Structure 1
Amino acid sequence: MRTRKGLAVAAATTLWLGLAAAPAPGAPTAEPDPGRLQQSVTAVRDLLLKAGDRMRPGEELTPPPAGADAIRVEAAGQPPAAVLTDGAAPPLYRHRELGCEVPAFAESRFAGFDAQVTQMMQDWGFMTASLAVANECATIYDQGYGRVGPWWARNAPAGDVTDLGPATPDNELFRIASITKPLTAAAIHDLDERDLLEKTDYVFCVKGGPADCILTVDLPAGFDERIADLRVRDLVGHRGGFDNNKTTDYLFRAWEVYQAGNLNAPPTPRDFTEFMLGLGLDAAPDAEYHYSNLGYLILGLVIEKAGKLPYRDYVYQRLLAPLGIASGDVVLSRTKRLTRNTREPAYWCVDKNWNANVPISTFAGEAGQRRCYADGGWVLESMAAHGGLSMTASAVATFYAHWWNFGTPRTAETYWNFPAGTKTAYSHNGRLAATQTVAARCVNGLNVVLLTNQHAWGSFDWAAAEERLCRAADDFLAQGPYYSTIWERDGRDWRSHRATPAAGYQALVDTTKADGFRLVDVNGHRGDSGTTYASTWVRNTDGTPWAATHGQTFAAFSARFDQLKKAGYRMTKVSGWRDGDQPRYASVWTANPDKRLWISHIRMTDAEYQQHADEYDAKGYRLISVDGYELAGQARYAAVWLADPGTAGSGNTATPYRAIHGATAAAYQAWFDAAAADGFRLTDKDVYTVGPAVRWAAIATRDGGPPTRSFSTWNFYTYQPRWAQEKEAGYRPVTISAYR
C-alpha cells in the first residue's frame, strides 16, 4: 500500500547654476566602481561560492535587529536575482499556474546571441540552427538562423548550401537528441510524486524476482539474475549496469537486432530492451556510473506502463502543456523523410560508418539496404525517451526554466541551487546523425538552448558552444540603463513609469492627472534613443494643487521657474541631465499656501554645491532633493532646500538629515550603513555617471517616516520582477532614476 507523500522659498527663493556632507573620514575614496559590473558572471559566481549551502543569494547578510529603522542595506555585488528583503527569500516570479510574468525585451538587446550563433555556423559549418533563451519563468528570446534546406534533401550538395530553402523560422522543429533525457527524468519524478510508482521500485518482473516490479519482459534461459535487482532510480542516475565500453549500444545497430529477432518491421523499444538484456549486465545495478541510452529507453517503457499514456503524450500533457507550450512544438521524431514533420529542416546524410556499424535500414521496402543514419540507418521512433523527440528551442528552454537538468522541479526558492562553474552551471548535450544540440544553465541565471543540423561527425564543440552562449548571456544582462530606486511602505494608491519616451511623456502626464493622480517625482535620462522620463505618482485624494516641468533648457526653465514661484508654488523635486551638449531640466512643484521659504539651484559645480550645502544648513534649510549629472566632463548638481529651522539646542534643522554626493559605491555604502545605524531613512537618491565613473548622491532623514527600501543596480532585465516584488510587499516607489 503506497502512502501519499508531501510535495515537497517663496519670498527668498534663489535660482543658481551649477552633495551635502562629504564622506566620513576614513571612508574609502578610491574603491573600484562596481556599478557597471553588477550583472557580471564573476560577481555572481563569487557570491554563490560565498553563499555555501544557503538557499540562494538574496537574503541580507546581516539582518537588522528587531525594531531597527527599516532603511535597507545595499550590499555591493548582488547578483541579478538578489533582492534585499526582511529576511525571507521571495520568489523571483510568482509561479501561479500560467500567471508567470514574462517581461518583453527589444530584440536588439539579443544581438550578442545572434553574433555568437552566426559565428558558430561559420566556424563549424552547419547551415540551420535555432536558439532560445529563457529566464526563470519562460522563453524571452527565440531566433532561427540560416536556411532549412529542401525537405527532400538526402545528400548535401557541393558548394554553398546556405542558399537552399527558405530562412529558418523561429519556431522550427529540430531533433533534440539526448537533451530529451531531462524530460524523461522529469516524467519519472512526476509519476513518483503522483504515487504511480516509487523510484525504489524494481524495473523488471522476472522469474524469482521481487513482486514490487513494473515491466514484464521475455528473457532467455539463464539470463543475468542481476537484472531483477535493477531499480528505477538506477536507470535515472545512469547506474543500471550498462557499459557501452564493454557491450555495444545496439540501439544504434538496428539491423542486427532486426535479424536476431527475425523481425519484419523496425525494432521497437521492447525489442531493443529484450535483445540487450539477453546479453546481460556489465556491472551490478547501482555499482557504477555509465551514461546509458538503454537505461533511458527502458524508462520510456516505465513511463508508458505507469502513466498509461504513450511516452510523448505523458511528457507533453504532464510537463509541457502546463507551461503553455503548444502541442505542435513537441512531436516524436520520424526517421524517414516522407513521414517527418514538415516544420523540421533537412538532415544531411553523410556517408560515414559509426565505428564498425554500417547503416542498414530496417524499414519496409528497403530493409537490408544501406541508408544513411539520418534517413533510415537508425530508428528514431524507438529512441523517444532517450533522444527521439523533435521540439522547438523555445519549448526546450521553457522546460529548462522550470525543471532541473536531473529531472526535479525548480522552484523560486531553489532556482540558484547549483554548483558554480566558470560560465555554465550545468548542461546537457545531444548528438545524433545530422543533429547537435546544447541546453545549458548559465551561472548568471539564464537558460540557453541551441539546436542545429550539424552532422554527428562535424567539428561542433559543445563546451565552446556553452561558453560562447553564456558569455552572450553575460553581455545581455550587463546592458544598461540601470535604475536606482527608493521604496516606502505606503498604502496609498500609486503609479510609476521608468522609461517614458519624451514624445509621449506629456500625454502620460495629462492622462494620469485626469485619472486623479499627482506627480511626486520625475527624473530625465538621455538614452540611446533619446530622452526618457521616470516618474512616480500618488492618488491626489486631498486635491493638492501641483505643477511640473520637463525637457527645458536652462533659459526656459528659469522663465517657468519665475512663473510658478509667483503663482504660489514651491519646488519639491528637480532633475538635470545632458542632452548632447545641452543641459535639460525637469521639476515637480506643489502649492505653498503657508509661504514656506525654500531655495533651489540647478547647475552647481561640485565645489559650489558643497559651499551652498554648508551655508544653507547653517541657516536652517534642509536638503530635500538632489540630482547629479555630467556637463562638459564635470559633475553638476541640481538641488532643493526647504526652510526647516530647529529650536535652540536641537541643531540647525528641526528634522535631522544627512547627505552625500560624488560617492563611489563603497563610500556610499559606508555612509548608508552609518545612517541606518543612527536611525535615518533614505528619502532621496540619484546614481549618475561622470565619464566612466558611477557616482552616488543621497539624502537620509530622521523624520519618523515609514520604512524604506533602496536598490541601486536594477537594469532593464531585473527591473520588472523586482518592481513587482516591492509592490506586492506593500511598498511604493519614492524615487526612480536611470543611469548608464
Structure 2
Amino acid sequence: MELSRRNLGKLTVATGAAAGIGVAVGVAADAATWKVTGTAVPALAGFDNQMKTFMQARGVTAGQLAVTYKGRLVLARGYSANATVVQPTSLFRIASLSKSLTAAAILRLEQDGKLKLASKVVDILGITAPVDPRWSNITLWRLLQHLGGWDRAVSGDPNFKDAAIAQALGVPMELKHADVIKYMKSQKLDVAPGTKYSYSNFGYLLAGRVIEKVSGLSYEAYVKQKLLAPLKIKRMALGWSIAKHTGEMSYESQYTGKTVLNNTGSTVAAPYGTFSMRTQDANGGWIASAPDLVRWAKMFDAPSAVLNSTSLGRVWSKPETGMDPGGWYYGLGWHVRPVTTGGTGRNTWHTGSMPGTSTLLVRTYNGMSWAVLFNRRDDASGKSYGDIDAAMWKAANGVRTWPTNDLFPQYFS
C-alpha cells in the first residue's frame, strides 16, 4: 500500500501502555547498539553508510538492504539499532511491493490461456447489478494500471474504511474480501474507467479474487506455485495482522488507532490492527526479505519459466491514459520511467507504505537493482522516508568498481 499522510494523521501518538507490541516512541538508533549482519563488501560501503545515516536520523530500529549488479547479488545486509538482530534473510511486510506479484500472476494466467487482459472483471467474478453500470467497462488491463474508475482522493480508500463498511453492511469486523466488494459495488465510480490514473488498492484486491476464481487455488498458493517456486524463493508468504512468521521483524510506530479486527473499539498499536492484513493480501499483504525481492526483480530482466517475452512486454506497456507530466507511467504492477537522456531503456520501481512499514524496490536501466525495507514509516521530526531513493542512488553512483561476487547461491538453493 501507499497509504497517504492524510490517513496517517487519523491515528494518534502512542504513549505509555497504549503503545502495545512492536511500538517504539522516540526510539533513537543508538550508535552503541548499531549492528550490521551479512557479508561486508568494501567497494559497496557507501550503501552501508547511507543506511546508517538514514535510520539513525529517523529512529528506525530495523532495516534491510539487498543490491544486485548485472544479475548478481553483490550485497545483502541487515541493520539494527536495538537488541533485535536483523539478518539478511529476516522478513518484513513489503506493503505495495506486493502489487508486482499480483500483476505477474494475472499475466501468467493469460500466458497459460486461462484469461485475457481485455476480459471484464464483472464477467470473471460474476458481479451482478452494481449500482454504477460503468463497472462493465472495467477490464483487467484497467484494473492493473489503476484506471478502474476509483479515486481515493475523492471517496477515500475502501481498503482502509473497515468500520464504515461494516456499519453500512451490518456485518462484524474483521471484514472479508466479499464484504469490501459488496460495499464497493453499491457505490458510484468516481470517474469513467480508462479515463484517469488513480492509485487503487481496491483494484488489486479485485485482481486477487480473479486469480483465485480462475486458478481454483488460493491467491497465496497460486503465487507461490507458479511464480516463486521456479525462482527458488521459499521464504515469502502472506503476513498476519498480529502474529509473526518465524524470522519476521516487529513493526514500530508512534501512532495508535482503533482496531478493525473486531468490534471492541480497542485502541491498538498502529501496525497491529488498525488495518487488516487479511483483506490486504493482493494489494499489500506479502512479507519477504530484501534478497527475495531482488531475486524477484531479476525475473523481469529476461524471459523465464515464470513469464515469457510477450508477458514481460505487457508489464511495461503504457496505459491508454494517465501519463504523468513528469514522464513516468504505471505499467502492470510497476512504476515505469523511460530513460531519454544518458542512456536507453527504463527505470522501474515501486514503493510500499503502511503503519510500521516503509519499502522500496528499484530496477535501473543500467543493470542495478536494490530493495530496502524498514520496520517503521513515521518519525517525530517529520523527516521524509522518500529520501531513501536519493540515498541509494548516491551510494550506487559512488561505486568506483563493482565487485564480481554473487551471493545468490548462498541464499537460494
1:389 is matched with which residue: 281, 286, 290? 286
- Measured in 1, the distance between the counterparts of 2:47 and 2:105 equals 31
Shift in Å, 1:342: 3.6
Q: TM-score, normalised by structure 1?
A: 0.43
1:126 paired with 2:21, answer no
| Residue identity opposite 2:369 in structure 1 | N
**Secondary structure of residue in 2 paired with 1:403:** helix
Tell me how far 1:214 sits from its aligned partner: 0.5
Over 3 Å counting, the alpha-carbon distance change for 1:282 and 1:718 in structure 2 is: same
Partner in structure 2 of residue 318 of structure 1: 226
Tell me the matched-pair count: 339
Question: Which secondary structure state, in structure 1, belongs to the residue aligned with residue 376 of structure 2?
Answer: coil
1:331 alignment counterpart: 237
Q: Matched residues in 1 for 2:249 and 2:405: separation?
A: 35
Q: Report the equivalent of 2:41.
A: 107
Change (3 A) 1:351 1:454: closer
SS at match of 1:197: coil
For residues 544-595 of structure 1, the C-alpha deviation after alignment (integer angstroms, 9 at most, x for no partner) is xxxxxxxxxxxxxxxxxxxxxxxxxxxxxxxxxxxxxxxxxxxxxxxxxxxx
Matched residue, 1:436: 358
Structure 1 position 361 matched with structure 2 position 259: yes
Partner amino acid, structure 1, of 2:77: Q
- Partner in structure 2 of residue 266 of structure 1: 174
Find 1:471's aligned residue among 391, 394, 409.
394
Task: Say which SS state the counterpart of residue 425 (structure 1) adopts.
Answer: strand
Within 1, Cα distance between the matches of 2:309 and 2:358? 26
| 1:248-267 paired onto structure 2 within 5 Å | 248-267=156-175
Alpha-carbon distance in structure 2 between the residues aligned to 1:171 and 1:470: 23
1:616-671 Cα distance to aligned partner (Å, 9 max, x none): xxxxxxxxxxxxxxxxxxxxxxxxxxxxxxxxxxxxxxxxxxxxxxxxxxxxxxxx
What SS does the aligned partner of 1:371 have?
Answer: strand
Contact 1:432–1:456 at 8 Å: present in 2 too?
no
Report the residue type matching 1:350 in the other structure.
Answer: Q
Q: 1:268 to 1:278 in 2, by over 3 A?
A: same
CA displacement 1:217-245 (0-9 Å, x = unmatched): 3656xx11111221111001110000011
Separation in 2, partners of 1:718, 1:172: 22
Cα shift readout 1:425-468 (whole Å, capped 9, x = no counterpart): 23210100011101112343111000001234664645431222
What is the rounded CA distance, in whole Å, between the counterparts of 1:408 and 1:470 in structure 2? 28
Work out the CA distance in 1 between the residues paired with 2:135 and 2:276.
25
Residue identity over aligned pairs, in percent, reads 29
| Bigger share in strand | 1
> Contact between 2:74 and 2:404, CA under 8 Å: does it hold in 1?
no
Q: How does 1:490-639 map to 2 (within 5 A)?
A: none
Show the counterpart of 1:420.
339
Query: How has the CA–CA distance of structure 1 residues 391 and 293 changed in structure 2, closer, same or farther, with 3 Å as cutoff?
Result: same
Bigger relative CO (Cα 8 Å, ≥ 6 apart): 2
CA apart distance, 1:409: 6.1
Instruction: Calculate the TM-score normalised by the size of structure 2.
Output: 0.75
1:107 and 1:460 map into 2 onto residues whose CA distance is 29
2:207 pairs with 1:299: yes
In the alignment, is residue 182 of structure 1 matched against residue 88 of structure 2? no
* Structure 1: gaps spanning 5 or more residues: 1-104, 147-161, 205-212, 353-358, 480-714, 720-740
Residue equivalent to 2:124: 214
Distance in 2 of aligned mates of 1:110 and 1:402? 24
- Match of residue 398, structure 1, among 295, 318, 321: 295
For 1:410 and 1:472, the matched residues in 2 are separated by 32
1:335–1:381 CA contact under 8 A, matched in 2: yes
SS in 2 for 1:380: coil
Say if 1:258 and 1:362, in contact at 8 Å, map to a contact too.
Answer: no
User: Residue 238 of structure 2 aligns to which amino acid in structure 1?
Assistant: L
Secondary structure at the counterpart of residue 133 of structure 1: strand
AA aligned opposite 1:367:
T
CA offsets, 1:670-711, max 9 Å, x none? xxxxxxxxxxxxxxxxxxxxxxxxxxxxxxxxxxxxxxxxxx
Asked if 2 retains the 8 angstrom alpha-carbon contact of 1:255 and 1:361, the reply is no
- In the alignment, is the contact (CA less than 8 A) between 1:226 and 1:281 conserved in 2? yes
- Contact 1:421–1:443, Cα closer than 8 Å, also in 2: no
The structure-2 alpha-carbon separation of the partners of 1:402 and 1:175, relative to structure 1 and needing over 3 Å to count, comes to same
Decide whether aligned partners of structure 1 residues 422 and 457 sit closer, same or farther in structure 2, where only a CA change above 3 A counts.
farther
Q: In the aligned structure 1, how far is the partner of 2:258 from the partner of 2:40? A: 48
Select which of 111, 133, 142 maps to 1:193.
Answer: 111
Deviations 1:365-404 (A, max 9, x none): x633232331111101110111111111111111111127
Q: Does the CA contact (< 8 Å) of 2:68 and 2:74 recur in 1?
A: yes
The 1:116/1:443 distance shift into structure 2, 3 A limit, reads farther
Q: Structure 1 counterpart of 2:363, which letter?
A: R
Indicate the residue corresponding to 1:277 in structure 2: 185
CA distance in structure 2 between the partners assigned to 1:190 and 1:244 by the alignment: 29
Higher alpha-carbon Rg: 1
Amino acid aligned to 1:344: E
- Partners of 1:273 and 1:282 in 2: CA distance: 16
Give me the whole-angstrom Cα distance separating, in 1, the residues matched to 2:389 and 2:120. Answer: 37
Change in Cα spacing, 1:193 to 1:343, as seen in structure 2 (3 Å) is same
CA distance in 2, matches of 1:127, 1:139: 24
Give the direction of change, closer, same or farther, for the CA distance of 1:372–1:324 in structure 2 (3 Å limit): same
Q: Which residue matches 2:31? A: none
- Distance 1:475-1:350 versus aligned 2 partners, 3 A rule: same
Change (3 A) 1:219 1:138: farther
Distance 1:422 1:380 in 2: 41
Q: Aligned match of 2:244 in 340, 347, 353?
A: 340
Partner of 1:46: none
Judged with a 3 Å threshold, the aligned counterparts in structure 2 of structure 1 residues 260 and 418 are, in CA distance, closer, same or farther, namely closer
Q: Say if 1:471 and 1:108 are closer, same or farther in 2 by CA, change over 3 A.
A: same
Pick the structure with more helix per residue.
Answer: 2
2:135 to 188, 209, 227: 227
- 2:258 is paired with a residue of what secondary structure? coil
Once the two structures are TM-superposed, the CA of residue 128 in structure 1 deviates from its matched residue by 0.6
Q: Residue 379 of structure 1 aligns to which amino acid in structure 2?
A: S
Offset at residue 303 of structure 1 (A): 0.9
1:229-284, Cα deviation, whole Å (9 max, x unpaired) = 21111001110000011111121121222222222341112211221221121111
Unaligned runs of 5+ in 2: 1-38, 317-335, 407-413
Distance 1:251-1:421 versus aligned 2 partners, 3 A rule:
farther
Match of 1:370 among 258, 264, 267: 267
In structure 1, the partner of 2:90 is 172
1:109-163 alpha-carbon deviations (Å, 9 max, x no partner): 33221111111112222111011112453533211101xxxxxxxxxxxxxxx33
